[in-house]
Amino acid sequence: MTADELRKKYLQFFVEKGHQEISSANLVPENDPTALFINSGMHPLVPYLLGQPHPLGKRLTSIQKCIRTADIEEVGDSVHLTFFEMLGNWSLGDYFKKEAINWSFEFLTNPKWLGLDPQKIYVSVFEGDPEMGVVLDEESIAIWQEVFKKVGIKAQVGERIFAYPKEKNWWGPAGQTGPSGPDTEMFYDTGKSHNLRFGKKCHPNCECGKFVEIWNDVFMEFNKTPQGKFIPLPQKNVDTGLGLERELMILQGKESIYETELFQNIIFKIEEISGKLHAQSQYQRAIRIIADHLRSAAFIIADGVLPSNKEQGSVLRRLIRRSLRFGRQLGILELFCGEVAKVVIADYQKVYPELESYKEKIVEVLIEEENKFAKTIDIGLREWEKLVSKKSKNISGKESFYLYETFGFPLEIIEELAKEKKIKIDVNEFQEEYNKHQQASRQGAAKRFSGGLADHSEATTKLHTATHLLQQSLRLVLGTHVHQAGSNITAERLRFDFTQDRKLTEEEIKKVEALVNEKIKENLAVSFAVKTLAEAKKEGALAFFGEKYQDKVKIYTIGSFSKEVCGGPHVDFTGHLGSFKIKKEEAAASGVRRIYATLN
């Protein structure tokens, strides 16, 4: 089965079960300041899991682009990726455990769909936790026993069904607060023999490599409060997710995701440029890292991110720089990132047309960043030479960490350089420095997440409504060539990118500000109607995102002033917004300006 067939079958299966297909959201969360990237299929659906009605109803299915960089150091093994596609289906207060489990099993094992051997499927459930006030998920156990019984398998607990604690079988929330719940996971027995790495008796979560997790059904019936309590949600939801690449690896009986057709052309290109082969074990990791990172980079750029030292841009920069370094490790000295990205674009553009639309931009951004970093590498090499000429035999961990931190030299390159000169490096001390640094950045990350979605929601909702007022005001003051090119909202400010090829004058900025404040004072009502995208466009609503044509969408109107296609949420009346102030106006990219603004 090819990736394309798998995507189609999945959506078809759930459409047949009454689900509506929704498009993948942009990789940059529109209104979630607690995360840099969309990391799962449920992520764009949080407001609906919390109870807001979705315009397409209560059963949804999608293939969502996801970025997860927490395990970036593991990329290069057989299953870790920074970009992946997640297949998912949702019940928003509609069906619950029985249907979710039965359908998952049907899709996995029925020959009409994936046709996996039921004998090779093992499952896990939540064992309960007295502190959380949640008991063992006996309901799911009973449903699984029924399901297995139908195919002649006696599913005993401890043999086919396994109960695990919250570390394994509880999902979410994404931030500190929000929807979460117990889950049931499905595993596939690859038939590999257990290597006893994790104790005597092998089991689904043993992690020896024999069992691979293939699907996660989350029963999202709780909302975690800022006090850490799990209170029942008004509606019982189902949120399921399977990683396309891993599923494909199982279906095709491959040893790693890099051996599926999704990576064939990309790896072939890297082999061609470097003259090194994926089959040569000493080069395999570097080739895989480049393939993964440039695939992610192409998708991230297509969704409007540029390399920078902040937020999404810094993640993109890291992906490109790591690719370049590993490229040097393979002996590549010429520009190559753009060439590899062209293959990514060609392979994926049918499914993700945004890659085709931004083809030139993606290649241009990669070449520019690569050129910039090539210089950094050279400066780093000079620093290295200086260090080496000053010292004779030893380089401290602090000094090598300085090279890592300042010039982006990975330890393995520093070690290689040292080896050539027969110099010793204090690797332990390097590790200590590294750990200290990791801890500091983790604390930073924890802080970032500590607000949680719910805490920020009021401030971000207001800024979101202000963004609509801003866009319409810009169009009235500057002209209708102004289109939204990007939006990012935190609890403190809005950031709005729009098409405009020159700087705004002081006077224009004052005019726009005054117009937004006028509309706030008028206390206009904000409301929405659900229509098809075609109807929305006919009515003249602004719509700048990649919604599919047949999708039903929400059109938000603010008095008679603004009309935009948007998922919401918004305030009910503009009078709630307070006073609007433009803090900064600057260039964001060629032909795109950026405004930062606040409400007080």
Nearer to ligand SER, 243 or 307 (CB): 243
DSSP state of 543: -
Q: Per the structure block, which two tokens stand in for 440?
A: 């500091």
Q: Give the strand pairing for 494-499 and 526-532.
A: unpaired
Rounded CA-CA distance 56/50 in Å is: 16
Instruction: Between 237 and 400, name the residue whose CB sits nearer to ligand SER.
Output: 237
Q: Could you tell me the smallest distance in angstroms from the CB atom of residue 140 to ligand SER?
A: 15
Looking at 218, 250, 251, 418, which residue binds ligand SER (CB under 6 A)?
218
Residue 59 or 462 having the CB closest to ligand SER: 59
**Closest separation between CB of residue 32 and ligand SER, Å?**
14
Contact status: 41 vs ligand SER (CB under 6 A):
yes
Shortest Å distance, C-beta 600 to ligand SER: 37
Piece of the chain touching ligand SER by CB under 6 A; list 49-57, 197-205, 236-244, 369-377: 236-244
Our finding on whether 42 is near ligand SER (CB under 6 A) is yes
Dist CA 63 CA 487 (whole Å): 23
Q: Does the footprint of ligand SER cover residue 484 (CB under 6 A)? A: no
* Type and span of the H or E element at 589: strand 580-589
In the structure encoding, which two tokens stand for residue 539, read together? 């009515």
Other Cβ atoms less than 10 A from the Cβ of 379: the count is: 11
When binding is defined by CB under 6 A, the residue of 24, 40, 465, 484 that contacts ligand SER is 40
Residue whose C-alpha is closest to residue 359's, from 306, 317, 307, 301: 301
# binding residues, ligand SER (CB under 6 A)? 10
DSSP 255: S
Torsion angle of alpha carbons 379, 380, 384, 385, nearest 10°? -20
For 119, the 3-state DSSP assignment is helix
Name the CA radius of gyration of the chain, rounded. 26
Residue nearest to ligand SER (CB): 241
> Given the complex with ligand SER, which of 66 and 395 has the nearer CB atom?
66
- By CB neighbour count within 10 A (0-12 exposed, 13-18 middle, 19+ buried), where does 284 fall? middle
Task: Note whether 240 binds ligand SER by CB under 6 A.
Answer: yes
Q: Are 533 and 565 in contact (CB under 8 A)?
A: yes
- Under the phi-then-psi rule, with left for phi > 0, alpha for psi from -120 to 50, and beta for the rest, what region is 396? beta
Q: State yes or no: residue 29 binds ligand SER (CB under 6 A).
A: no
Closest contact distance (angstroms) between CB of 51 and ligand SER is: 18
What count of Cα atoms within 13 Å lies in the side-chain half-sphere of residue 277?
2
Write the binding mask 303 to 342 for ligand SER: x where contact by CB under 6 A, - elsewhere.
Answer: ----------------------------------------
Complex with ligand SER: residue 137 or 513, whichever CB lies closer = 137
Identify the three-state secondary structure at position 336.
coil
**Among residues 184 and 490, whose Cβ is nearest to ligand SER?**
184
The residues in 134-163 that bind ligand SER, with binding defined as CB under 6 A, are: none
Q: Going by DSSP bridges, is the β-strand pair 424-425/394-395 parallel, antiparallel, or unpaired?
A: parallel
Shortest distance (Å) from residue 70 CB to ligand SER? 13
> Judged by CB, which is closer to ligand SER: 233, or 414?
233
Residue with tokens 């405009």: 500
Under the criterion CB under 6 A, does residue 403 sit at the interface with ligand SER?
Answer: no
| Helix, strand, coil share (%) of the chain residues, nearest 5 | 45, 20, 35
End-to-end CA, the chain: 56
Return the number of the residue (240 or 557) whose C-beta is nearest ligand SER.
240
CB of 171 to ligand SER, least distance (A): 5
Rule CB under 6 A: choose which of 239, 245, 354, 497 binds ligand SER: 239
Q: Which CB, 92 or 566, lies closer to ligand SER?
A: 92
**Nearer to ligand SER by C-beta: 41 or 452?**
41
Binding string to ligand SER for residues 88 to 107, with x set by CB under 6 A, is what?
Answer: x-------------------
Residue 240 or 323: the one with the smaller Cβ distance to ligand SER is 240
CA distance 316 to 37: 11
Smallest distance, ligand SER to C-beta of residue 240, A: 5
Supply the DSSP symbol for 206.
G
Q: d(Cα 333, Cα 346) in Å, to the nearest integer?
A: 24
* CA-based nearest residue to 432, from 411, 448, 407, 415: 411
**How many angstroms separate the Cα of 423 from the Cα of each of 255, 258, 403, 420, 433?**
38, 36, 15, 8, 20
Task: Give the pairing type, strands 526-532 and 20-22.
Answer: unpaired
Smallest gap from residue 318 Cβ to ligand SER (A): 23
Q: What does the per-residue mask of binding to ligand SER show for 54-93, with x meaning CB under 6 A? A: ----------------------------------x-----
Please say which residue, 68 or 581, places its beta carbon nearer to ligand SER: 68
Q: Is 216 in the site for ligand SER (CB under 6 A)?
A: yes
Which range in 40-48, 368-376, 379-387, 586-594 contacts ligand SER by CB under 6 A?
A: 40-48
Q: Report the C-alpha gap between 362 and 339 in whole angstroms.
A: 11
What is the secondary structure of 215-247 as a DSSP string?
EEEEEEEEEE-TTS-EEEEEEEEEEEEEEHHHH
Span of 157-165, 239-247, 270-278, 548-556 interacting with ligand SER by CB under 6 A = 239-247
Is the Cβ of residue 41 or residue 397 nearer to ligand SER in the bound state?
A: 41
Q: Which residues bind ligand SER (CB under 6 A)?
A: 40-42, 88, 171, 216, 218, 239-241
